Amino acid sequence: MEQSLASKILSKFGLAILVVALLDLAILNWWIFKKTPAELSSSKANSEGNVAVSPPPGVIFATPSPAPLASAHESPTVQPQTTQPRSQSQSQPVQTVIQKETQTIIQTAQKEIFIPIGSGSSKSSTYSDISGAEVSIDTNKYPPIDYMVFQASIWVTNGNGKAWARIINVNDNNPYYESEISSSSSTGEFRTSAKIPFQYGPKTYRIQAKTDMSDFAANVGNAMIKIVLK
């Protein structure tokens, strides 16, 4: 009696478990049937720990096919490169070079040497020596000489008549007519003669002067010989 009651209880309990299992299976099938393939993929990815974004309706994702591996015997293909012409913005900037012309003016300054002779006066109507107005010059001691001139301040007393002056080479007793200067002024006027011919070597140069009127002397002051070097 007791064994029969236990058998009935076990049978009912097993039947209840079977009903519940069938009900769960039916619900699972209904849920699976309701889900779309995309939702199933999303649910699967979420279950595996991956985050997936559901595509919008009407969008189908294409699975890329794996690229074929190159064969070990195949050589790589080199694509030719086409050189594109540079645009205006890529071209190098044009450089404008302005060359300035420089004019070089060479000026050779002539060296001038002034050798004082002295001062004096004369009332002679013919050329006569002015005492003490002389100088010795050795032209060999100078660099090459270009020329020599006689310079002096000359005037006649009271401006009456006219005064003359010149240089004489005492050693050769040779008066230099090219050295002659003159003035009719009553005050000193600075005069420069023409170029004097000269000889190399030591020479003594002396001043000679004359006047038109013996009562009015010819005066010579600050006389000098200027040597211009080449």
Mean pLDDT, residues 42-70: 49
Whole-number pLDDT of residue 160 = 93
Mean pLDDT, residues 85-107: 51
Question: Quick one: which of 114, 193, 116, 111 has its CA closest to 146?
Answer: 111
Secondary structure in 3-state letters for 73-99 = CCCCCCCCCCCCCCCCCCCCCCCCCCC
Residue 142: what are its φ and ψ, rounded to 5°? -110, 155
Whole-number pLDDT of residue 24 = 75
pLDDT > 90 fraction of the chain, expressed in percent and rounded: 48
Residue type, 87: S
| Local confidence band at 62 (pLDDT 50, 70, 90 cut-offs) | very low
Residue type, 141: K
Contact between 109 and 194 under an 8 Å Cβ cutoff? The reply is no
Q: What is the pLDDT of residues 13-24, one digit of tens each?
A: 778 788 878 877
| Other CB atoms within 10 A of residue 7 CB | 10
pLDDT above 70 for 81: no
| Other CB atoms within 10 A of residue 145 CB | 14
Whole-number pLDDT of residue 35 = 58
Contact between 137 and 206 under an 8 Å Cβ cutoff? The reply is no
More confidently predicted of 97 and 162: 162
